[in-house]
Structures are given as C-alpha cells and as structure tokens.
Structure 1
Amino acid sequence: MRFSRRGFLAAGAAVGFSGFSGPVLASDTLSVVATTGMIADTARRIGGGAVEVKSLMGAGVDPHAYRQTRTDIVAMTRADLVLWHGLYLEAQMQDFLHKLEKRGTVVAATDTLPRELLRGHDDYADKFDPHVWMDPTLWTYVVEHIRDALTAKSPANAELFAANTKTLITELEALAVYGARAMATVPQEARVLVTAHDAFGYFGRAYGFEVMGIQGISTESEAGLNRIGELVDLLVERKIGAVFVESSVSDRSIRALSEGAAAKGHEVIIGGELFSDAMGQEGTYEGTYPGMIDHNFTVIAGALGGSVPARGLSGKLSAGS
C-alpha cells in the first residue's frame, strides 16, 4: 500500500467514484447490515449487485451514543452478515453485538488492523482511537477485511468482490495523494486543526497537523469550561484563524471558542463543517466515503490558507463545500 506521488490531475483521473460493475453469480443477493455509513458505503462498493446493504446510522448520527432500536435488532438478526466498526466506536451497542457474534454472522471491520498502527484512546488505557477512516491508507485494511467477510458468505462472487476491491483501493490511493498534496500547501504555522471532539487524530498523524478537540475521542466526554478557556487562549496566542464544526456534534462549544477569541480581540472564523463520525446526506457525493474525505481535505486546506480545487479532487463536491 505504497502511494505514488502524482499530481492533482493524475490523481483525479484515477478516480471514478461511480458504481461498480460485473456479473453477479450467486442466485440470491447477500443481506448485509452495517452500523455506520462509512462501512455501509464500503460494503456496497465492494459487493455491487451481489449485496443489499442497510445502514443503521445515517447523516448526522453520532455512533458513540447510538443505541439499537427494535427495528435494528430485527434487521441484524435476519441479516446474512452484520458489519460493525469495532474499537469501541459503537460503545452503546457493543454488548448486543458481542452476543450476536454467537450466530456467526457478525464481523468487526477493524479486526485486522495492525495494532501498532492504532492510536491510544484518551479515556481507556486498553482501547484505541476508533476514527481510522480519517486516513484513507488505514481504511484499505478495512476494505480488504470487508471483502473477505463478503467472500466468506458468498464464495461464488469472489471474483466480483476482488475486482471491486481493487478499484476501490485505487480510489483511496488517489485520495491519499490528494490529501498529502493539499495539506502541503497549508502554511506550516497554520497546520492546527481545532474541532468539537478529537476525531481527526489519524488525519493529523498522516498529514502533519496538530489536532485539538474540545471533547476527547468520544463525544460522551464532557467539554468543560476550563478546556474551552485553554483553547481560547491558544487560539489568541498562536493567532489561529479558523476552527471547524462537525456534522454529527453540536456546534455550541466551537462557537463559544470563536466568541471567546473575539472577546480578546482575535478574530476566529468557522472554517466550515467537517464530516467526523458520519457522512453527508444519502444520495450526495459527500454521502459516500470518498466524498466525505474529499470534502474534509478540501475544506480544511482551503480554510487554513492552502490551495485546493474549489470542488475537490474529482470536481464533485457541492457548491459551497
């Protein structure tokens, strides 16, 4: 998984972001339930017409706090395969999912990620930061594990799943190249990302950014007045010009940062809305995993003084992203 260094145009040419094709050999489609939108989109791209995927969590839903509904329980117990993220992301669902594992239909998509590549968790010594989708390089491990899980359930479609996986990984390579080139255009002193909670640690590690969240890795962490005060002082002292809200977290604390800095004579703008724990609206480019990451890369770099295409890597971002 070494990424060649290509230009924006070469990277864009490598990305189709369209549906996958290929013959479906099995007589019946595979019924798959995925917890998060990122996992659901990945399963659809790999499975093509051989799978039917239901996502439990839609746009703007916080997976840290999500609890399964009765409808979710029925869907999961009837599915051929249940894909969940793991790494304590779905903290409120974890006990139920572990019980469901006894049926042999449940797979944690992050199980095969090398533990040496994971960041530690702020609040739990024996757990890891679950937000691995923020680095497309890490997400390739998830892609391959989902491919293997689908193949185990539908061996007749192994060739289709393998071909679609290869195409998707090529897209992720192009995204990683775009991210690296976009972030390299941000002035060194401006490479500080301040958001509502610490969901961007893997992004920061991959692209050389200092990342600060008001809350910790989980949105269940309390955002105290002391933490907000500390970050206001940091914004003023280091002359940081932009902070970011998240689509799945209240913007109240981030706006308090901007107002606090203004009270001390330093203007801090809201640089844009980032997709942290959930993707964009279904049916939009931002409602896909590649679109989600393309959006984040483009908004972050653009707001912090970098140079990026207005509509992102593939020109598909919504106007105003």
Structure 2
Amino acid sequence: MFVGSNSSRRFWYFGMVCLLAFSLAITGCTPSDQPSAQTDGKWQITATTGMVADIVARVGGDKVNVTHLMGPGVDPHLYKASQGDIKRIEQADLIFYSGLHLEGKMVDILEKIGKQKPVKAVTAGIPENMLLSNPASPQAFDPHVWFDVSLWMKAVEQARADLVAFDPANQSVYEANASKYLKELEELHQYAITQLATIPQEQRVLVTAHDAFGYFGRAYGVEVLGLQGISTASEYGLKDVQTLVDTLVSRKIKAVFIESSIPKQSIEAVVQGAAAKNHTVVIGGELFSDAMGAPGTPEGTYIGMVRHNVDTIVKALK
C-alpha cells in the first residue's frame, strides 16, 4: 500500500488512472488491427453473390465464415449496397466478388475497399480468349461465366490461389478442399453434356428474359435467345418483344423460360404476343440465372442450381 502525504497519494492515484486508461486504449485498438481469425479461428469472408459464396465456403471449409450480400431472387446487375452491406464488407477480413462488371453499381465500393483490405474477383484467372464479348459494349465481356461449369472450375482455382496467398499456413486444407470440389464439378459438367444431348438438335433452343445463358449455350450446344441484353440494366421495348415473337412463330418454338431474379412480365408478354398470332408457347419452368435458390434447398448450392436448370430445360424441350 502506498504511504505518504495526501497530495502525494492523490498524485499517485491520478498517475495510476492515466496509466490504466492508456493501457485500455492500446488494448482497445489491437482487435481492429488483427484479423478476426485470431479470436474465433476462422476468417470472416464476405462474398457478393451466392455462386461466389458457394466457392469460398467449399474451398475455405472450416477455416472460414462466409456471408454473401445478394440472396435468392436478387439481380446483381441492379443491386445497390445497403448500410448493412457496407458494414459486413468493412468487418470482413477478405472479400470475394464475381467480376467482369456483374456487380454493376457495387464496383466503385469494392475498388475503394480494395485499398484497405484484400478484395478478389474469382473470374480474374479466366483467360480473355475463353470469355464471350458483350455485344452492347465491345470492350467488355459477358460476366455469366458460371453457366459453363468448366469455366467456373477456373474460378474455383482462382479462389483457392487467393485463399492460399492470404493464409499460407492452411494451404494444404484449401488445396484438398478445392481438389474435392473440382472433381464434383467435373462430374456436373459431364452430366450437363449428357442430359442436354438427349434433346433433338432442332429443339435445342433456350428462350429467356435476358441474355444470361451465352456460356451455357456454347458449352452444351444450345441456341440461346434473350429478350434483354446481357445486363438487365438494358431496356427492352415493344419492338424487342415483337422480334422475339416472330422468331418463336416462324421456328415453331413452343417453350420459353422465366428467371428467378427477373420479373416474369417480360416473358409473359412474349407468350401473349405469340398467342395473338395463333402460336401456343408455354412457360417451360423457372431457371436460376443471376442468383441461386434459397439456403437449405438443393438449388441453394451451385451444383444443385445447375442440375435444376439442366433438368428443367431437358424436361421442357425434350
């Protein structure tokens, strides 16, 4: 116990309080400077779309906690980040997005955050000669690469490389997880090839609300027609509807498809237009295009989503 005059004791207590306050200030600053994995053993990762989150969760395994911003039915082309999204991005150790301007309005935010922490595009490793151009913007590429499973495998490899670079101590874990997932995706790719080949070639025509299935068509031998362009930010008008209707009538195409992330009114207008010309067109089912299904369902995973799309298309067109 400190012994001395009252003034000395007051000075001593004042000094101890200042020292304690300084210590707490230093301690309080430490967690923000350290990755959250130091406290719960897992990296906190934020992804934009469900497809990207699926990759990171599969490759990262039990070393990561993954959240994503865009849930079922959300259109990434038009998505605007909320304050909650900004908070999740700021609190993440690492951020993954799809890239090729899929996220549209979020690109600026991601670029700014990238100056403070790692922000990675899973499509960064895909060679340009494997990408499809965007007719509306010759200098840009079609971002819907996940519809070609073999291309999406390259996105898995990119995510694996980014995780290893970020956390080299767990390289063996990420490589093992990626290897297992890639084998599953190779099987999925072969499944799509086999199933879609059962549709007679002249009937292998996929008509949807927007032109998101270009890679799918190229990979699996399907002709693709879309009412809107590659991005849903593009507008369509009466002339676009009429042009598509004329194509359906002249080629006797009998099924079109709606998409989970786009209002179905556009395709319904095409169906009605065909009916006005005495040609019956049915809606062959709902496809998942820019968003996966609900969490906990088969379609809430990338593999389940692709299988659902393939099975729905085969059933309607075969």
TM range (shorter): 0.7 to 0.9
Q: Which has the higher helix share?
A: 2
Paired position in structure 2 for 1:240: 253
Larger Rg: 2
1:135 deviation in Å?
Answer: 0.6
1:74 deviation in Å?
Answer: 1.3
Match of 2:189 among 163, 176, 179: 176
Paired position in structure 2 for 1:289: 302
Q: Answer yes or no: is the 8 Å Cα contact 1:87–1:130 preserved in 2.
A: yes
Partner amino acid, structure 1, of 2:119: V
Partner amino acid, structure 2, of 1:224: G
1:26 deviation in Å?
Answer: 10
1:157 deviation in Å?
Answer: 1.6
Counterpart CA distance in 2 for 1:264 and 1:117 is 40
1:55 deviation in Å?
Answer: 0.5
- Greater shift, 52-61 or 256-265, is seen at 256-265
Paired position in structure 1 for 2:288: 275
Match of 1:47 among 60, 78, 81: 60
Partner amino acid, structure 2, of 1:300: I
Counterpart CA distance in 1 for 2:90 and 2:125 is 24
Match of 1:160 among 144, 151, 173: 173
Counterpart CA distance in 1 for 2:50 and 2:186 is 20
Counterpart CA distance in 1 for 2:302 and 2:259 is 16
> 3-state DSSP class of the match of 1:211?
strand
**CA 1:295/1:25 → structure 2, altered by over 3 Å: closer, same or farther?**
farther
Give deviations 1:146-200, integer Å, cap 9, x for gaps.
1111122222221111111011111111111011111111011111110000000
Paired position in structure 2 for 1:16: none
Paired position in structure 1 for 2:240: 227
- Does 2:86 align with 1:70? no
Match of 1:144 among 143, 157, 160: 157
Counterpart CA distance in 2 for 1:178 and 1:75 is 36
Q: Answer yes or no: is the 8 Å Cα contact 2:93–2:117 preserved in 1.
A: no
- Does 2:105 align with 1:92? yes
Give deviations 1:100-156, integer Å, cap 9, x for gaps.
111231111111110000000122121100000001000011001111111222222
Runs of 4+ in 1 over 4 A off after TM superposition: 24-27
Counterpart CA distance in 2 for 1:235 and 1:195 is 12
1:264 deviation in Å?
Answer: 1.1
- Does 2:116 align with 1:103? yes
State TM-score, norm by structure 2: 0.86
Q: Answer yes or no: is the 8 Å Cα contact 1:25–1:157 preserved in 2.
A: no
Give deviations 1:255-307, integer Å, cap 9, x for gaps.
111111111111111000000000001111100000010111111111101xx
Paired position in structure 1 for 2:15: none
Partner amino acid, structure 1, of 2:191: Y
Match of 1:205 among 205, 214, 218: 218
Number of aligned residues: 282
Partner amino acid, structure 1, of 2:291: A
Fraction of identical pairs, as percent: 52
Paired position in structure 2 for 1:191: 204
- Greater shift, 147-156 or 245-254, is seen at 147-156
Q: Answer yes or no: is the 8 Å Cα contact 1:119–1:129 preserved in 2.
A: yes
Equivalent runs, 1:278-317 vs 2, <5 Å: 278-305=291-318
Counterpart CA distance in 2 for 1:179 and 1:26 is 43
